[in-house]
Amino acid sequence: RLASPRRPKVVFVFSGQGSQWPTMARELLQVSPVFRATLEDCERAMRAHGDLALLGLLEKTDDTSWMEDIGVIQPMLFAIAVALAAQWRAWGIHPDAVVGHSMGEVAAAHVAGVLSLEDATRVICRRSALLRRVRGQGGMALVGLSLEQARAVLAGLEDPLSIAASTGPTTTVLAGAAVGTGPDRFSSW
């Protein structure tokens, strides 16, 4: 007797900043009513926290300068993630679990039903506004070191630098204050 086939487990993974997909989002706006409606819902919910014209920005194919503004890109990425999850569900793909990293945690919490859309947009808009205020005052670097190796390398440098996250067996994120100005402002690290 053959074992009955089981549906594989599905996990929706929501990444942090750095996963910009404007072309994909533009195309989905054109062909997916579910994706468009969800982005419109996100945009409406975000109006309580500022005037973010998400659809207008996405539909401007010649200008992507908004992707450099942390006060815009994080709410945009949140909305795209939520709209993608709605589209996947519309296609019959439902998660057994959701997980998020950094700002993706907010999208994961909303998709999991932990945060309402209004609460999730409040969190992501507030988060991005706070980050906008401190942007440029420090830096982060992903290094190919284990947590233990990073600790050894940073020994004695803990005042200007710190370990921000251990992201894998051989990857660690370091963070610290900017020193100087210009492209070499972190060179004293």
Predicted pLDDT at 18: 64
Predicted pLDDT at 20: 64
- Condensed to tens digits (0 to 9), the pLDDT of residues 64-100 reads 676 777 777 889 899 999 999 999 999 999 999 999 9
- HSE-up of 81 (CA within 13 Å, CB side)? 33
- Condensed to tens digits (0 to 9), the pLDDT of residues 13-61 reads 998 776 666 678 888 988 999 999 999 999 999 998 887 888 888 887 6
More confident residue, 144 or 5: 144
Where residue 187 falls among pLDDT bands split at 50, 70, 90? very low
Q: β-strand 171-177 against 161-168: which pairing, if any? A: antiparallel
Predicted pLDDT at 58: 82
**Averaged pLDDT for residues 110-116:** 96
pLDDT above 50 (res 186): no
pLDDT above 60 (res 156): yes
- Condensed to tens digits (0 to 9), the pLDDT of residues 121-138 reads 999 999 888 877 777 777
How far is it, in rounded angstroms, from Cα 22 to Cα 39? Answer: 13
What's the gap between Cα 60 and its chain centre? 21
DSSP class per residue in the chain? -PPPP-PPP-EEEE--TT---HHHHHHHHHH-HHHHHHHHHHHHHHGGG----HHHHHH-TT--GGGG-HHHHHHHHHHHHHHHHHHHHHTT---SEEEE-TTHHHHHHHHTTSS-HHHHHHHHHHHHHHHHHHTTSEEEEEES--HHHHHHHHTT-TTTEEEEEEEETTEEEEEEE--SSSTTTTTT-
Predicted pLDDT at 49: 87
More confident residue, 117 or 102: 117
Look up the pTM and report it: 0.74
pLDDT above 70 (res 10): yes
pLDDT above 80 (res 182): no
Predicted pLDDT at 181: 46
